[in-house]
Structure 1
Amino acid sequence: MRRLRELAESDRFADVVRVLFALTGIAAWCTMAGPADAIVPALLGAIACALAETDDAWRGRLRGLLVTLVCFAVAAAAVKASIGTPVIFALLLPLGTFALVMLGAASGRYATIATATLILSVYTMIASDGAGAGATVDGWRGTLAILAGAAWYGSLSLLWSALAPQRAVRHALARLFASLGDLIEAKAALFEPVRGLDRDALDLAVSRRNLRTVEALTAARGTLLDRIGRRQPRGRAAARLGMFFVAQDMHERISSSHYPYDELAGALYHSDLMFRFGRLLRLQAMACRERADAIRRVAPLRSIALPRAALDDVREAMAYRRRHDPPDQAVDDALSALLTNMQRLQEGIEDEGSLREDADIALQGNEPASLREALARVRLRLDRRSMHFRHAMRLAVGMLGGYALMLALHPRHGYWILLTTLFVCQPGYGATRRRLIQRVAGTTAGLVAGWALLRLLPPGDWRLPVLVASGAAFFAFRLRRYTLATGVITLFVLLCFDRVGAGYDAIGPRLLDTLLGAVVAAAAIRWVLPDWRVRRLDDIVADALLAQGRYLARIADQYTRGKADDLPYRIARRDAHAALATVAGNVAELLAEPGHPRDRGERSLRRLTALQAGLSHLSTLGAHRQRLAEADAAAFRQRAQRIADGFDTLAAHVRAGAPARALHGIDDSDATPPDNGSSDETLRLVHRQCRLLVRVHDRIAAIEPA
C-alpha cells in the first residue's frame, strides 16, 4: 500500500493515467464502434499530443491545445500531400524542421509544441507507410484519425486540468523544496574542518545542485504565475506563493559565503563550530525534504524552522570561543554573520504564510505577451552564433540526410531513420552521445521484446492491452529512464505495425534504421555547424559576469534605501543564478566533448568555481541587506559601482579572448571601518565581501584565455 501511495503521489502519475485512459478509449472505440483501421494513426496522434503538453492552467492549456492542433493539422497535411513526391518532400522536410525548431525560440511552451509537431510529422509518415503495407485506411482518413486522436487526448488533458488545477503547483513546489534540500546538503559538506579537503570538487557538487535548484525555481515561478496571474492571491494560493518566496530567500541565504571555507577551516581546526554549523544545515536539509514529501502527500505542513535549541547551542559555542581563544576579528565577524544569517532565515520561515499588503509579489513570466513579441524572440535567434539557429540547421540537414539515405536503401518502413535522427540529435555533443547510446540499446531491447510477444500472444485484439500499456509506460519512463522508455515505445510502434500486418517484417529494418538514424545524428552534430561548448564558454562566462555586476548594483541600491524584495531586485538575483547555472551546464557538456585539451577543461572548471565564489559573496551581501547611514551607503555604492564596472570590463575581455588585468584602485585601506560598535559589524561585512569580490575578479582575470 505504501508503494502504491508513493506511486499515486509522484509527479508522473497523472500523465501516465491520462495517457492510459486516452489510449484505452481510442482502442475501445475503434474496436467496438469506430473504424478499426483508424486505431494506429489515432494512437500516434494521442501520443504526439501528450508530448506537446505543458503544466499550464486550463486557460493556458486550452490556448496551447489550439496552437498544437493547428500545428499538427498543417504538418500532417503537408506530409500527406507531399509524401508521394520525393522531390517536393525533400524540399519541405528540412524547411519545416528548421521553422519548427526556430519556433521553439519563442518560449519553452512553443519549443515543446514544435518538438511534438516534428514527432507527429514522422508518425504521419509511419502511418502512411503502414497504410501502404496493407491497411485499408487511406487518403486523408489516416490524417484525420491522427488529428482526432490528438484532439481526444487534448480534451482529456483540458478536463483534467480544470478538475485538478493545483496538482501541478503542488508538484512544482515539492520539487523545489526537494532540490533545496539537496543543495543545502551539498553546502553542509563545505563546513568540514578538514585540512587538504578537495574543496574544488565540493564547489562543483554545489554548482550541480544549484543548477537543479535554479531550474526548480523557474518551473515553480512559471506554474504559480500561470495559476495566479496578476490578481491578488487569497487563501491557499497566497500560502503557496508565500512558500515560493521563502524558498527564494532560502536559496539566496544558503548560497552565501561569509568567509573562504578553507581559511575558516584552518582557523577553527581545533573547534567544533564548523561541525555545528554543518549540523544546522543538515537539519535544514532534512526539514526541506520533509516539506517536499508533505506537499506531495497533501499532508499537514509543519514548520521547517530549526529547533531553537540547535541555534542556542551554536550561540553558546561561539561565546565560549570568544572567552577562551585569542581574538580574530575577521573570523569572529564571519561566524557572527553566519549565525545572523541562519537566525534571519528562521524568521523568514516562521512568517512564510503571510504576504504583507505592501509587499511586491509580482512575478515575471517567460512566455511572450503577444505574437509580435514571440516573433521578435525568433528573429533575435536568427543568427549564426545562436545555439538555437545552429541546432535548427543541424537537425534540418540531418533529417534531409536521413531521408536521402532512406530512399537509397529501402523506401519501405524507412521512416524510422528520421524518427531516430529526430530523437538522437540534441543541441549538445554530450547529450547527443548519451541519447545515441540509450536509443540504440532501448530499440534493440524493444525489438527483442516485441518479437517474443508476437510469438507468444495470439493474433488479433488480444494484443491491444499490451499496445496500450506500452504507450502509457513510455510516459512513465521518458524523463528519468530514457533507455527503458525507448524500449517500450519501440514495442508500441512495432505492435502498431503488427495491426497492419507488417509486424515481423518491421523487426529487421527497425534495428538497421535505428543504427542508420543514429549515425546520421552523430554526423550532423559533428560536421554541421558544430557547436562545441568550449567555443561558447567565453560568451557564457561574460554573460555571467555582466549578470553578477547588475546584481551587485541592485544590492548596493538596497543598502541605500533599505531591504525590499521588489521585482527588479528579484529579477537581478534570478538572472545571476540562471547565468551561473548556464555556465555549470555548459562546462558539464564541454567535459563530455572530444578533442579539447586537458588544460582547457581545467581552465573552464577554474572559471566556474570562481564565478560560484563570486555569486556566493553577492548572496552574502543580499542576505544581510539593511539601510546604512547616508555617508556609509554612498561610499559602499561607489565602491560597488567600481567593482561592477570592473566585472563589465572583464566580461568584454573574456568575450574577446583577450588578457585582462587585475582590478586596481580598490585597496583595503580606503574603506575599512573602525571597530567601535555593533553597527560597524555590517560595514565590516560589506567591505570584506567587496574585497572577496575583487579577489574573484582577479582570479578570473588571471586565467589565460582559451
Structure 2
Amino acid sequence: MTISNFVKNNVKDLLEFLKSTSFSKAVLIGVAITVPIVFGLITDYFEIGIALGFGAFWASPSDVNGNLKHKQIGIIFSTLLIVVISFIGGYFHISNIFLFPLLGVLTFSIAFISIYGFRASMVSFSGLLALVLSFANISETLEIYQYSLWLGVGGLWYLGLSTLWFYLNPKTYTEETLNEIFILTADFLDIRKKLIGEHPDRDALQTQLINLKIELTELHDSFREVLISYRKSSGKSSYQGKRLLVFVELVELLETAIANPVNYNKMDELFKIHPEFEINFQKLISEFSYQLRAIANQINNSKKFPENNVLNDSFKHLERDILNLRDETKPEGYERYLILQNFLDYQKKQFEKLKRIKRILGNYLLTTDDIISSKDLKNFIKTQDYNPKLILRNLSFKSTIFRHSLRMAITVMLGYGIGLYFNLQNPYWIILTIIIIMRPSYGLTKTRSKDRVIGTLIGAVLATSLVFFISNTYVFGALGVLSLVIAFSMVQKNHKASSTFVTLSIILIYAITEPDISSVIQFRIIDTVIGALLSYAAMRWLLPAWSFMEIGDTIKDALKANTEFYKSISTYYQEKGKVPTSLKVNRKEAFLQLSNLSAAFQRMVQEPKSKQNHIDDIYELVEINHSFLASLASLSSYIQSHKTTEASEEFKMISEKIQNNLDAVCSQLKTIDFESKIINPNPLAIKNESKRIKVSIDRFTNETILNTENLRSHKEAHLIWEQLYWLFSLSEKMLKLTLKFKMN
C-alpha cells in the first residue's frame, strides 16, 4: 500500500468516526458536563455547576440508540435513581457499622435492575455510578438533599439536550446503522464467496460467518425497532418507508446468501470437475459485494450507484456455460446441471434484490402495495417484559443476573474495605473500577480487567508526560475535557483506549487543583489494579455462572425457533398462496435465537478448560443448528420466489418425520444435565432411516425428471428433495447426539 493510500484510508476512517453517533453522543456528554461547570465558575455557584455536570454525566449511560420515547423514559428513570441513591449515599459516612451492609444491599438492588433488559442495565449502571461517587464528598456547602436535587436537575438538563439533538439529527442513527448493515452484508458475501469450492480454512471461515451473523442479527433487531416504532409514532414518512423497504430487501438478500442448493461435499465435487464455474461464481459474488459497498458509500446519491452491466454480462456467460452441461441421458451430468441452475437462481434472486434496493433509494414513489400494515409490523417487534413478577422469578441461584448482582455486592464491599484498611487516597476508585469491569460473563470480565489495567497504565504515562511539560491549568482543563469526549466515544468499541483516555482526563482535571499530582497517579494505578484483580477473582471463584449451566436452554430455544420456521415453510409449501407474515416472523426468530446460541457458545469457549463441559458435543449441536438454518433458508428462499408444484404424499410423510425428530430432540434437551461430565455409555438405539429415506428421495427425484419435460419441475424436485434429505439427516444426527448425555 502506498503512503497516499494509507493516509487516504486513515483520513476516511477518521471522518467516519467523527460523523458517527458514538462521537456525537460523546460530544453531547462533554457539552452537558462542561457548560454547567463553566456557568458555575462564572456565577460563583461552582458546586451547583459541578452537581449539574455530574447529574448529566450519570444519566448519560441510559441514552442508548433506539426509540426516542424509550430513550427519554430511560433517562428519566436514571435521573430518579440518581437522586434517590445520592440522597441515601450522602449519609454513608455517619457510621461504618451501617455502611457495609447498606452498600451491599444497594449494590445488589441496583445491579438486579438488569433483569429487565439492556436499557435497564444502563439505568442500573447510572445508579451504580451515583452510588460509588456519593463517597467522593464532592460538595462542602450544599446540603445532601440539595446536592441530590441538583443532580436530578442535571439529569433533566441532559434529557433536554439529548431530545434536542435527536430532533436536530433524526436520521443520523438510521443512516449509520443502515450503512453498517450494507457493509457487514458485503463482508458476509465476501466470506461466502471463499466457501465456494474446497477451502483448507473452511472451519475458520464458517466461524467468521457465524460471528458476522451474530453482529448482523443484533443490528437487524435494533434497526427494525427504530424504523417500526418511528413509523408508528410519526405516520407514513416517505423516508422511513423507503428505509424499511431497503431493510426488508437486505434481510432477504442475507437469507439468500446463507442458502445453499446442496451440501458442500457435492459442490466441492462439482467444482473439482468444472473449476471454471467456481471462478465465475466467485467473480459474480465479488461484484455483488462491491456494489453493496458502493451503495453504502453513496446511499443518498443514486446517480453514483454502479451500473448493472457487469452483473448482466456475468449472468449471460454463466447461463450459456451451464446450458452446455445439460445432458438428460447422463444422470450424474444432469444432476450437476440442476445444481448449477439452482445455484444460479439464488444469485439471480440476489440480483433482483440489489436492483430493487437501487430503485427504492432512487426517485422511487411509494405505492399502497409497498406499505406494510401496522398489524404486520407489530409482529416483528419483541417488547420487553416489565412485569414485577420477573423479580420473583429471578430471585434464585439459577438466574445469571441474581448471581452477578450478589457477586458484585460482595466484591464492592470487599474492595471498599481494602481501601479503608490500607488508607488509600480514594478508595471509591476501587469500587468504581469493579462496577465498570464486572459483567455477568467470565470472558468479558477477564478481557475488561486486562484492558482496564493496561489502559490505566498507558493513560498514567501520557498524563505524567503532559504534566511534566505543561503547567497551564486552562490547557489541563481543555485537554481533560477533550480526553473525556474521546473516552466516551470509544467506550463501546475499544475498552482499552477508553480506559487510557479516562485516566488521562481524570489526572489532568486533578492537576488543576492538586499540587502533588504524582500521588494521584500512583493511587489511580493501585486502585485500578486492586479493582481489576478483585473483579477477576470474584468472577472466577465467587458464585460463578458458567455457560454450561444455561447452554441447554439456549440450544433448546434455537432448536425450537428452527422447528417453528421449518413448520411454517412446510405448511406454506403445501398450502401455497400469499407468503404469510408468520413465516417471516419465524424466520426472524430463528436467526435471532441462533445468534444467541452462537454468542453463548463463544462465551463458553472463553471460560477455563475445566468448565467447558461437553464442549465438542455442544459445538457439534451448534454447527448442526447452523446447517439446519442454512437449509431452511434455501427452502424458504426457493418456495417464495418460485411457483411450486403440489406437495406429494412423500413430502408430507418425510416432513412429518423431520418434525417428529425435532420434537424428540426438544424433549431430550429438557432433561439433559450439561453440568454432569458423565456421558451415557449405552444410549438408546434409534431407528436409522437415513438410507431408506435417501433411496426414496432419489427414486422420487428420478421419476419426476423422467415423467416430466418441464425444467422448472426438475429444478424444484432436485432442490426440494435434496434439502429435505439434508434436514432429515441433520435432525436424526441431533437426536443421536442428545441421547449420549446423562439425563436429570
Structure 2: which 5+ runs fail to align? 1-7, 361-365, 674-679
Q: 1:65 to 1:185 in 2, by over 3 A?
A: same
Listed as ranges, the matches of 1:612-651 within 5 Å are: 612-626=626-640, 632=647, 636-651=651-666
Deviations, residues 524-579 of structure 1 (Å, cap 9, x unaligned): 21122212223333332222211111110111122133365544222211221122
Q: Does 1:568 align with 2:578?
A: no
Q: Which amino acid aligns with 2:663?
A: D
Q: Does 1:589 align with 2:603?
A: yes
Is contact 2:66–2:222 with CA below 8 Å preserved after alignment? no
Contact 2:56 2:151 (C-alpha < 8 Å) held by counterparts: yes
1:66-93 Cα offsets, whole Å, 9 max, x none, are 2221122122222123343333332233
For the pair 1:164 / 2:177, whether they are aligned, the reply is no
Whether the 8 Å CA contact 1:47–1:471 is kept in 2: the answer is no
Question: Which residue does 1:580 correspond to in 2?
Answer: 594
In the TM superposition, residue 254 of structure 1 has moved relative to its aligned partner by 1.0
* Contact 1:560/1:634, CA 8 A, preserved across alignment: no
| Structure 1 residue 51 corresponds to structure 2 residue 61 | yes
Counterpart of 1:513 (choices 500, 504, 527) is 527
The aligned amino acid for 2:312 is R
Match of 2:182 among 165, 177, 180: 177
Alignment partner, residue 486 of structure 1: 499
Counterpart check, 1:428 vs 2:428: no
Residue type of the partner of 2:291? A
Name the Cα RMSD after superposition: 3.1
Give the alignment of 1:363-378 within 5 angstroms.
363-364=378-379, 368=383, 373-378=386-391
| 2:204 is the alignment partner of 1:201 | yes
Within a 5 Å distance, the mapping from 1:423-572 to structure 2 comes to 423-458=436-471, 460-498=473-511, 501=514, 503-562=517-576, 564=578, 566-572=580-586
Amino acid at match of 2:273: H
Q: Which of residues 21, 30, 36 is equivalent to 1:20?
A: 30
Shift of 1:411: 6.2
Counterpart check, 1:608 vs 2:622: yes
Q: Indicate how the Cα distance of structure 1 residues 375 and 200 shifts in structure 2: closer, same or farther if over 3 A, else same.
A: same
The answer to whether the 8 A contact 2:477-2:512 is kept is: no
Moved more, 233-242 or 644-653: 644-653
**Judging changes above 3 Å, is the alpha-carbon distance between structure 1 residues 26 and 317 closer, same or farther for their aligned structure 2 residues?**
farther
Q: Which residue of 1 aligns with 2:4?
A: none
Amino acid across the alignment from 2:134 = T
Aligned residue pairs total 696
Judged with a 3 Å threshold, the aligned counterparts in structure 2 of structure 1 residues 475 and 351 are, in CA distance, closer, same or farther, namely same
**Alpha-carbon distance in structure 1 between the residues aligned to 2:684 and 2:396:** 28
**94 and 279 in structure 1: CA distance in 2 versus 1, 3 angstrom threshold:** farther
Q: Give the aligned partner of residue 106 of structure 2.
A: 96
Contact 2:241-2:371 within 8 A present in 1 as well: no
Letter paired with 1:286: Y
Per-residue CA deviations over 1:311-334 (Å, capped at 9, x if unaligned) read 222212211233699542443332
Q: Distance in 2 between matches of 1:287 and 1:636?
A: 39
Alignment partner for residue 120 of structure 1, among 120, 130, 142? 130
Letter in 2 for 1:222: E
Aligned-pair CA distance for 1:663: 6.7
AA paired with 1:98? F
> Where do 1:181-580 residues align within 5 Å?
181-193=186-198, 197-229=200-232, 233-271=236-274, 272-295=276-299, 302=305, 307-322=311-326, 327-328=331-332, 329-352=334-357, 353=360, 356=369, 359=372, 362-364=377-379, 368=383, 373-410=386-423, 412-458=425-471, 460-498=473-511, 501=514, 503-562=517-576, 564=578, 566-580=580-594
Matches of 1:661 and 1:215, distance apart in 2: 40
Residues 463, 259 of structure 1: alpha-carbon distance in 2 compared, 3 angstrom cutoff = same
Q: Partners in 2 of 1:40 and 1:528 — Cα distance?
A: 37
Q: Which amino acid aligns with 2:535?
A: A
* Counterparts in 2 of 1:500 and 1:17: CA distance versus 1, 3 Å: same
Query: Residues 648 and 77 (structure 1 numbering): CA distance in 2 closer, same or farther, change over 3 Å?
Result: farther
Q: TM-score, normalised by structure 1?
A: 0.90
Given that 1:48 and 1:120 are in contact with CA atoms closer than 8 Å, whether structure 2 keeps it comes out as: yes
Amino acid across the alignment from 2:75: L
Query: Match of 1:108, as an amino acid?
Result: F
Note the C-alpha offset of 1:343.
1.4
Shift of 1:180: 1.0
Instruction: Please say which of residues 264-273 and 378-387 is displaced more in the overlay.
Output: 378-387
Gaps of 5+ in 1: none
Task: Name the aligned partner's letter for residue 33 of structure 2.
Answer: L
Residue deviations 1:632-691, cap 9 Å, x none? 166535533431231231133244146576575572344534212332532332221111
Q: Please give the secondary structure, in 1, of the residue aligned with 2:290.
A: helix
Distance 1:441 1:268 in 2: 49
- Distance 1:323-1:640 versus aligned 2 partners, 3 A rule: closer
Q: Which has the higher contact order (CA 8 A, sep 6+)?
A: 1
Whether the 8 Å contact between 2:548 and 2:613 is mirrored in structure 1 is no
Q: 1:326 to 1:687 in 2, by over 3 A?
A: closer
Q: What TM-score results when the alignment is normalised by the length of structure 2? A: 0.86
CA distance in 2, matches of 1:544, 1:119: 36
Match of residue 70 from structure 2: 60
Counterparts in 2 of 1:83 and 1:649: CA distance versus 1, 3 Å: farther
The residue type paired with residue 98 of structure 2 is I
Secondary structure of the structure 2 residue equivalent to 1:322: coil
CA distance in 1, matches of 2:542, 2:611: 22
> Structure 1 residues 166-175 or 105-114, which shifts more?
105-114
For 1:84, the aligned partner's letter is: I
Distance in 1 between the 2:265 and 2:400 partners?
38
2-structure distance, mates of 1:84, 1:412? 19
CA 1:654–1:491: 2 relative to 1, 3 Å:
same
User: Cα offset for 1:615?
Assistant: 0.9
SS in structure 2 at match of 1:26: helix
Q: What amino acid sits opposite 2:636 in the alignment?
A: G
Distance 1:283 1:357 in 2: 28
Would the aligned equivalents of 2:415 and 2:430 in 1 still touch at CA under 8 Å? yes
Alignment partner of 1:653 is 2:657: no
Percent of residue pairs bearing the same amino acid type: 18
Displacement after TM superposition at 1:697 (Å): 2.3
**What letter matches 1:249 in structure 2?**
E
Give the 3-state SS of the residue equivalent to 2:116 in structure 1.
Answer: coil
| Cα distance between partner residues in 2 of 1:446 and 1:37 | 28
Pairwise CA distance, 1:506: 2.6
Residue range with higher mean Cα deviation, 286-295 or 165-174: 286-295
| Greater displacement, 34-43 / 484-493 | 34-43
Tell me the distance in 2 between the aligned counterparts of 1:109 and 1:364.
21
* Alpha carbons 1:49, 1:150 under 8 Å: kept: yes
Q: Residue 549 of structure 1 contacts residue 644 of structure 1 at CA under 8 Å; is this kept in 2?
A: yes
**1:519 Cα shift?**
1.8
Residue in 2 that maps onto 1:668:
694
Evaluate the alpha carbon distance shift between residue 298 and residue 166 of structure 1 in structure 2; reply closer, same or farther with a 3 A threshold: farther
Structure 2 residue matching 1:398: 3-state secondary structure: helix
CA contact (8 A) 2:437 2:448 kept: yes
Is the partner of 1:517 in helix, strand or coil?
Answer: helix
Give the structure 1 partner of residue 676 of structure 2.
none
- 711, 719, 728: which one pairs with 1:685? 719
